[in-house]
Amino acid sequence: MAAPEQTAQRIAMLSLGVSAALATVKISVGLAAHSVAVVSDGVESAGDCLASGLVLLGLWVASKPPDSDHPYGHGRFETLTGLAIGGLLAVVGTAICLRSIDQRYETHTLAAYAIWPLIASIALKAILSAIKYRVGRTTGSSGLSADASHDLTDVLSSAAALTGVTLALMRPEMAAADHYSGFVIGLIVIFMGVQVVRETALQLMDTMPDPAQMDQIRRAALRVEGAIAIEKCFARKTGLRFHVDLHLEVDPNLTVSESHEIAGAVKTAVKTHVPWVEDVLVHVEPHLLRKAEATIKR
């Protein structure tokens, strides 16, 4: 079975090829058919190519093992690529909006074949987006999940372009619909960009996983014999997986060696039963109730 990083890289490479082909076709057909909406959608697909390239770069750097300068690994670089993709979406969306508004009074005759690359784009990008969301959740890749949002943006933008082109073809007096659909495409791209920036920024701020995920860690730790309770449990994402700080309560009457053995077993149990955890730092604490009982007996 392929490693999560390898799976994510293969999906990103496939996406890069598909986006490059769609961008070439849409821009070429849009120019030939005199459609601002199709050209705008092609420019958005060209942005997909750059985004997929950033994801590949992020996954490659994130897969490097920890070293003396980066003891937690290089995973945060992959998160940074997600942030870059969000910024790219916002810039591309703004450019599309400005171009569409600037050309809104230009008159042109559209060719009916302009709709076919849009239909193909909707189908292909919907499939790619679903695959990337699934693989992104499985591997924990922020960049791939952000790129899935980018693909969803492409589906929405192609649908907007298709609507505008269809209206312009059916009703000549509505030729401006081609321009306004280009503007809508830009707004969609900007909105998705802001969403991606928000999500990746939360990860860079060490936002905790949801309560259900934290419960997974606690349940795995308390399976170990001798693990009485968990005082504190924190987790932060450093790329594709999480690093966990866990304060484990044990019997205060145990020796240091016995406590250390339990801590090691807890670390192994969490990493075994919670696949999205990269590493666990266990702090051993005396269980307060047991400590109080021992004091009363003395």
Name the residue ranges covered by the structural domains of the chain.
4-204, 211-297
Question: What is 4-204's CATH topology?
Answer: Alpha-lytic protease prodomain-like (1.20.1510)
Residues 6+ apart with CB under 8 A from 159: 122
Please tell me which residue, 126 or 110, carries the higher pLDDT value: 126
Tell me if 4-204 shares its fold with 211-297: no
Q: Which of 186, 180, 183, 191 has its CA nearest to residue 94?
A: 186
Neighbours of 65 (CB within 10 A): 7
Instruction: Tell me the pLDDT tens digit for each residue of 237-264.
Output: 876 678 899 999 999 889 999 999 999 9
Token match 């969803």: residue? 152
pLDDT of residue 208: 82
Under 8 Å between Cβ of 48 and 14 = no
**Does residue 32 surpass a pLDDT of 50?**
yes
Greater model confidence, 240 or 30: 30
Q: What is the pLDDT of residue 3?
A: 58
Are 239 and 75 within 8 A, CB to CB?
A: yes
pLDDT-derived band at 228, boundaries 50, 70, 90: very high
Q: What is the pTM of this model?
A: 0.59
CA angle at 132 for the pair 2 and 148, rounded to the nearest 5°: 150
The C-alpha torsion from 132 through 133 and 135 to 136, rounded to 10°, is: 100
Superfamily of segment(s) 211-297? Cation efflux protein, cytoplasmic domain (3.30.70.1350)
The average confidence (pLDDT) of the chain is 80
Q: Do 254 and 275 contact (CB within 8 A), yes or no? A: no
Tell whether the model's pLDDT for residue 298 goes beyond 70: no
If DSSP codes are grouped into helix, strand and coil, which group holds residue 170?
helix
Q: Which two tokens stand for residue 237?
A: 């994402």
> What pLDDT, on the 0 to 100 scale, is given for residue 287?
85
Looking at residue 180, its pLDDT comes to 78
Backbone angles phi, psi at 272, to 5 degrees: -75, -45
Asked if residue 175 lies in contact with residue 108, where contact means CB atoms within 8 angstroms, the answer is: yes
- pLDDT over 70 at 132, yes or no: yes
Q: Return the pLDDT at 227.
A: 93
Range with the lowest mean pLDDT among 156-165, 192-201, 224-233, 283-292? Answer: 283-292
Contact between residue 210 and residue 202 where contact means Cβ atoms under 8 Å apart: no
Is pLDDT larger for residue 75 or for residue 1?
A: 75
Residue 57: count other Cβ atoms within 10 Å of its Cβ: 17
Runs of H (alpha helix) within 103-222: 115-139, 142-170, 177-204, 211-222
Above 90 in pLDDT, residue 30?
no
Q: What is the mean pLDDT of residues 209-230?
A: 91
